[in-house]
Structure 1
């Protein structure tokens, strides 16, 4: 039997209205998309402001959905933790006994380090926490990696400030609205972070790949060897990120450039901290007032 070519909804008013509303919705969506595309092309500041308004409106919804998802996803883990807690407690007690000597040694080294710092008069730059807030959402499938933080310039957050998760560096703030902030993650292709290797202090650069990982390459040695398990932390160079923040771990042996997995995963982070920049920008030089010429005395 030949397929029916007449696809009209017939005499059903409900089907006709549904088809008509579908056409109207499709046309309205196409017009709105074209308007947003033109706005982002010819007036980026206005498009950024509009994007901030949309973030302000969608942040509570995203926050509620994230809380619901975390609550449901945590039920199986809670049941499993109930059965594992006794064995973990026994292992932890044994570990504490084994590490007692190491803890005492570490305390001695800390006191010795403090004494040497006093002798050398080493000046440390304080790092202040600007705000702590919930991470509302993050992009996991796009090549551009951004996250939205539920805090904005009304709470003192400014563009360029570093953002930390519970396990390490997440990225830096690139855009703020009154109560939300847009964060470019360190896995974004535009993210470039000066780092150093913990075992020997090798300076390197961590560059985002857009796939959830970063590429680490040596900053001053050609064809430098990288070993699986090498840990890299922020070096403090550049004046944005404080030194010593965990960034990434090398996955396998490589030379010159090593694929590395970041410590801080935004999809597992509930909260994040916004810090002041390590070296705040210097204030602009003040103009030197010129003395007014003295009035000439009559001869």
Structure 2
């Protein structure tokens, strides 16, 4: 049975006809711009479809951007946190250096007799024996350190060298119970002897007669006797006096001028009659 749809040009003829019409429409649009209004309507019609088609991609892109931004913020925050920690650490080191520099300036400005040479030493260790007050410093025989040499800080007398190694030395503090130092009262030159009490903040002033002219607050300085500590260096300050007539002598206590519980930098003294001379390794000489 034949129908009307079976009649007409063949498929190749139809293809050629479609191509010809397409070329004709392209030429008309190019030369005469006859489809401008149609293209506007078509674009308006297709725009919502294009928007809907591009919406998933835009959403994925926005989500990816947010994720990247969040990751960048996290990384930037971590970097800034690390940078702040490093700056804080540097600031702490600068504060420490400033403090140590101030201490050294004070130390070098401490009273030293003109005929004495000095060298700055640093504390290395503290004796952990509770019945002994000794420290170790970083200067030894190669620097000219000798036994019984005087050791000071920026406040006053600390002690004397008791053992000398090649590069280190051991210092016996004036607060040690085995140590005694001849002193005099700066106010009136009354001569006394102070011995260690075993406490870093206290000395015993021995054999003080009840009639001695001594007062709380008197400053005690080295007398120069015994040929250990040069004369005139501050050593202690009288803190208490008990005159009990039932005892042969007054009970006198003094506080060391040196800060024995917080030593860091120390001064080694070489008086003019020292048995050896200092050997300086880049330090100044006074």
Q: TM-score, normalised by structure 2?
A: 0.51
1:169: Cα distance to partner?
A: 0.2
Query: Is the alpha carbon distance of 1:160 and 1:274 closer, same or farther for their aligned partners in structure 2, counting shifts above 3 Å?
Result: same
User: Which one of the candidate residues 169, 172, 179 is aligned to 1:191?
Assistant: 179
The answer as to whether partners of 1:187 and 1:214 remain within 8 angstroms in 2 is: yes
Query: Is the alpha carbon distance of 1:211 and 1:141 closer, same or farther for their aligned partners in structure 2, counting shifts above 3 Å?
Result: farther
User: Which one of the candidate residues 259, 263, 266 is aligned to 1:265?
Assistant: 259
Q: What do the CA deviations read for 1:148-178 (whole angstroms, capped 9, x no partner)?
A: 1111111111111010111100000000111
| Superposition pairs of residues 25-174 of structure 1, within 5 angstroms | 126-129=115-118, 131-139=119-127, 142-174=130-162
Q: Distance in 2 between matches of 1:144 and 1:187?
A: 9
Q: Distance in 2 between matches of 1:136 and 1:266?
A: 14
Report how many aligned residue pairs link the two structures.
Answer: 163
User: Which has more radius of gyration?
Assistant: 2
User: Which one of the candidate residues 199, 212, 215 is aligned to 2:204?
Assistant: 215
The answer as to whether partners of 1:138 and 1:267 remain within 8 angstroms in 2 is: no
RCO higher in structure (CA 8 A, sep ≥6): 2
Equivalence for 1:253: 241
1:226: Cα distance to partner?
A: 3.4
SS of structure 1 residue aligned to 2:142: helix
**Which runs of 5 or more residues in structure 1 are unaligned?**
1-67, 79-123, 282-299
Q: Distance in 2 between matches of 1:237 and 1:145?
A: 23
The answer as to whether partners of 1:161 and 1:277 remain within 8 angstroms in 2 is: no
**Which runs of 5 or more residues in structure 2 are unaligned?**
1-88, 100-112, 244-249, 276-286
The answer as to whether partners of 1:218 and 1:224 remain within 8 angstroms in 2 is: no
Equivalence for 1:276: 270
Aligned pair 1:205/2:174, yes or no? no
Aligned-pair RMSD on alpha carbons? 2.9
Report which stretch shifted further, 251-260 or 152-161.
Answer: 251-260
Q: Distance in 2 between matches of 1:164 and 1:243?
A: 13
Query: Is the alpha carbon distance of 1:226 and 1:172 closer, same or farther for their aligned partners in structure 2, counting shifts above 3 Å?
Result: same
SS of structure 2 residue aligned to 1:252: strand
Provide runs of 4+ in structure 1 moved above 4 Å: 277-281
Query: Is the alpha carbon distance of 1:254 and 1:216 closer, same or farther for their aligned partners in structure 2, counting shifts above 3 Å?
Result: same
Query: Is the alpha carbon distance of 1:223 and 1:144 closer, same or farther for their aligned partners in structure 2, counting shifts above 3 Å?
Result: farther
